[in-house]
Amino acid sequence: MVIGRRTGEVGMAQEGEPDFDEFAGRVWLPVRQALVGALGADRGVEAHALAMAYAWEHRERVMVMESPVGYLFTVGRSQSRNRRKRLPVLYPPPPVDGPEYEPRLPRAMAELPKKQRVEVFLVVGCGWSNAEVGRVTGRTESTVRAHVARGLARLRRDLGVEES
């Protein structure tokens, strides 16, 4: 079912017309993960909502793009920048009943340079490939790999953890 595609009516998509619900289902999680990685939990969720609203408003153009996730990532960062200037990046600690974790990790992640923080979060935390992160951030796969390696090395050093 499509809600309000053209005139506010509720109905099915027209034959041959792209389905925004299917598109949104495909890009929703990667855009959210990328923005939370870049901006922290609170700002990332807000930026994600703004990016998805933008996608709906400009759906005819956004849905046919080669890299809509990268474009919406940029839109979310840009829209968020206008709303909140210079707020710290905050990562909430994992739930107490979840798997064991290093309690100093959220602060150490927040202290990483932005490029490293985003790429470590997406590659290690969300399981993205270096190529996927490169497409979203506009960097080469080798640059992403280098940022992840440097970010992990800094996290290990800051947390006093030895590589196993």
**Residue pLDDT, tens place only, 107-133:** 899 899 989 999 999 999 889 999 999
Is 75 a member of any domain?
A: yes
- Between these two residues, 84 and 136, which has the higher pLDDT value? 136
Q: Does 65 lie in the same domain as 120?
A: no
CA-closest candidate to residue 91, choices 124, 32, 42: 42
Residues 47-61 have a mean pLDDT of 93
Give the domain extent around 45: 19-83
Q: pTM of the full predicted structure?
A: 0.66
Q: Does 57 lie in the same domain as 110?
A: no
Query: How many angstroms separate the Cα of 83 from the Cα of each of 70, 77, 88?
Result: 20, 10, 14
Is 136 a member of any domain?
A: yes
**Distance between CA 55 and CA 143 in Å, rounded?**
28
Query: How many angstroms separate the Cα of 145 from the Cα of each of 3, 119, 123, 141?
Result: 41, 8, 9, 6
pLDDT for res 7:
39
**Distance between CA 125 and CA 43 in Å, rounded?**
18
Q: Does 114 lie in the same domain as 64?
A: no
Q: Tell me the per-residue pLDDT of 7-22, one tens digit each, with 9 for 90 and over.
A: 344 444 555 556 899 9
Residue 136, domain CATH? 1.10.10.10
